[in-house]
Each structure stands twice: as C-alpha cells, then as structure tokens.
C-alpha cells in the first residue's frame, strides 16, 4: 500500500509528464500564422533552407511587349538563422511567426542581358501587412503588384519555381541550366 506522500509524488511526476507531452504536441503541431491561400505570392516563413524567386515585370504599353524583368532571390538563411527558426517553429501555437528577414540578391534581365544588380541586401516578408519589402521596392503579396519605395506602381510580380530561378542564376554565371 502506498502512503500519502507516495501518492502525491506520483501525481507530481504525472503532472510534469502531462505538461511535457502537451508541450511536445504543441511543438510538433502545424504552425499557425500561415499565409492566406488566396494570395498571389506565397511564402513559408519556416523554410529557412529554401531559396524563393520572384519575377517582376514592369507595366508597359500593351502595344510594346517587354521581356525585361527583375528577379528577386530571397536566399536561404545562415546556420544561426536556421537554428533561431527552430525556436520559432516550437512556439508557433503560442506566438505565430508573422514576419521574417531573408538575405536578398537582385538580378535583372534587360534586352536579354542578365546581370546581378544588388547582392548582400535584405528583404522583409510581413504576413500581417501582406508585403515583401526590399531596398528598392515593395511587393503586395495579395495581388502581386510591384511598387517603388515611394509608392509608385512599377508592375506585377509572380513567384517562380525554384528550378526556373536556379536556371536563371546558372545562366548568369555562364553555366548550363540543369
């Protein structure tokens, strides 16, 4: 037969075990704060090993079709940035992640000439405001509209597949696309 002290000790350990199990389930659960599926441009803020590519084309006169565009490459985070995101993922049920900063490179294709315009910059993805802010522009994630820093309309953006984005970068580097 167990004494009262033994019963309370079992309850105490059982309470801690229940807390650990609940915390484990919270940590393994699908994070909330995910992007609205109706958005034209979607990002997974928890994927810090992913490169994301946005192709932005200027608004042009309908009679003059333009193949010129700007390519924004939101790059994978550093090792420390990825470690910090593990914490973000674990507490996502308590405090959903709604914004993130990512390393950024900006490329251009003007009249078939591809070039790197900016490297080592930073982009801020903000799900609450549904915007992606770069040093030279802002993109509305809801409809893909592309704006200058001053707010003037520049054109439209769309997400590229990673394969297409990497092919662009490889071409820029003089390598054959995979």
Copy the structure tokens of residue 161: 């597949």
Per-residue pLDDT at 2:
54
Per-residue pLDDT at 33:
47
Per-residue pLDDT at 162:
92
Residue 82 scores a pLDDT above 60:
yes
Per-residue pLDDT at 27:
42
Residue 161 DSSP symbol? P
Residue range 12-48, pLDDT digits in tens: 555 544 444 444 444 444 444 456 678 889 878 777 7
Q: Which residue has the higher pLDDT, 5 or 128?
A: 128
- 3-state DSSP: the chain helix, strand, coil percent, rounded to 5? 25, 35, 40
The answer to whether the beta carbons of residues 99 and 128 sit under 8 Å apart is: yes
Per-residue pLDDT at 52:
94
Strand partners for 110: 113
pTM: 0.74
Residue 136 DSSP symbol? S
Average pLDDT over residues 41-60: 86
């Amino acid at each position: 037969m167990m004494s009262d002290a033994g019963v309370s000790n079992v309850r105490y350990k059982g309470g801690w075990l229940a807390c650990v199990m609940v915390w484990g389930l919270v940590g393994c659960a699908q994070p909330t704060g995910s992007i609205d599926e109706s958005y034209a441009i979607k990002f997974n803020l928890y994927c810090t090993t992913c490169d994301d590519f946005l192709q932005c084309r200027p608004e042009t006169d309908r009679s003059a079709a333009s193949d010129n565009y700007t390519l924004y490459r939101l790059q994978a985070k550093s090792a420390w940035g990825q470690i910090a995101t593990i914490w973000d993922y674990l507490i996502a049920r308590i405090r959903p992640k709604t914004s993130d900063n990512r390393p950024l490179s900006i490329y251009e294709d003007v009249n078939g000439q591809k070039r790197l315009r900016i490297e080592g910059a930073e982009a801020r993805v903000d799900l609450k405001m549904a915007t992606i802010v770069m040093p030279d522009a802002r993109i509305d994630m809801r409809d893909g509209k592309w704006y200058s820093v001053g707010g003037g309309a520049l054109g439209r953006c769309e997400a590229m597949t990673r394969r297409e984005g990497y092919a662009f970068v490889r071409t820029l580097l003089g390598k054959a696309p995979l």
